[in-house]
Amino acid sequence: MTDTDNNTAFTENSITTFCSLIAGLDFSHFEEAQLYDLIALTSESAGGLCQGLLCLSEGLENCEILPPEGIRQVSAYLKASAHLLPVLFELNEQANQGLTRGKKITAYPMN
């Protein structure tokens, strides 16, 4: 197995794990308006990510870095990424806080 195979296996496993963790989140405490906002933002972000990745992929296949007609798609990709990254940081922070709350930290003297 090559290093590329290892990276691919890790990516597939991490994507599956990430999706199952997100699927297990409880949204029952959200109000209806908040859920509509979340649906709109996630849908728009996912579409922007897909458009940008597709544009960049096609540009690379055609030996172009950014085709002129792809500027809008890449712009949507960057906007979607700008929305997604803070969400990932927040999920990370919430998970860390959950771990901290669940553990009792014991300090031992350094003798």
What are the sequence ranges of the domains in the chain? 31-102
* CA separation for the pair 28, 31 (Å, rounded): 8
CB neighbours of 52 closer than 8 A, spacing ≥ 6?
A: 73, 74, 75, 76, 77, 78, 80, 81
Per-residue pLDDT 10s for the chain (111 aa) are 455 555 555 556 787 888 788 888 888 888 889 889 888 888 888 888 888 888 888 877 888 777 677 788 888 888 888 888 888 788 777 777 666 766 655 555 665
**pLDDT of 9:** 54
* CA separation for the pair 84, 94 (Å, rounded): 15
